[in-house]
Amino acid sequence: MKGMQPTQRRSSWQQAAVVTGAFVLLLWALEIFDAASGHPLDAYGVRPRSEDGLVGIALAPLLHFGFDHLVGNTVPVLVLGFLALATGIARGVAATAIIWVVGGLGVWLFAQPGSNHAGASVLIFGWIVYLVVRGFLNRSSTEILIGVAVFLLYSGALLGVLPGQPKVSWQGHLFGAIGGFVAARLLTTRRAEASVTY
């Protein structure tokens, strides 16, 4: 970020690493508890248009349907979560909150009734879009480079927003991605150019 001293940048990156690592540890702790106790937490995913399923909007990104599901999400959460936070913890947390809510609400409103959706992939898809878009909106060279790197690494994953993969919540992927775009738009740091009358 412009105007950020090297020590401040290191501190921000260190904080991002600690927060992201703690979040991943929480995901693993919850899944270990869930597996050891007979998977009671699986019931707290987003269940579309069900009153009980509303709690999933808050809880679903923390929960996974088994260790294979969690293993598949762990590295993307570590990489993308860190990058979302590294150029500003407060802005990264705000972006994550927007993705979390938009993704969960979108699934609750539009996914198939009787289904159950959980997993951090709603955040993963949101972070991908957020990281790709925000640098261009902010006109930040650092953020543009991060966005290009993320696009090169994860552009293939974006096909997950399309229906057709059995037992995969494409709705969670789609609305997570929409949440990422909304977050990038709402949290732009570029100031509007002053208009001058001649």
Domain ranges of the chain: 6-186
Q: 173 and 107 in contact (C-beta within 8 Å)?
A: no
* Whole-angstrom distance, CA of residue 125 vs CA of residue 137: 19
Per-position DSSP letters for 95-113, written without gaps between them: HHHHHHHHHHHHHHHHSPT
pTM for this structure?
Answer: 0.88
- Between 166 and 17, name the one with better pLDDT: 17
- Please report the sign of the dihedral spanned by the C-alpha atoms of residue 179, residue 181, residue 184, residue 187: negative
Please, which pLDDT band fits residue 168 given cuts at 50, 70 and 90? Answer: confident
Tell me: domain 6-186, CATH 3.40.50.2300, correct? no
Radius of gyration in angstroms for the set of CA atoms belonging to the chain, rounded to a whole number: 18
pLDDT tens digits, 62-109: 999 999 999 999 999 999 999 999 989 999 999 999 999 999 999 999
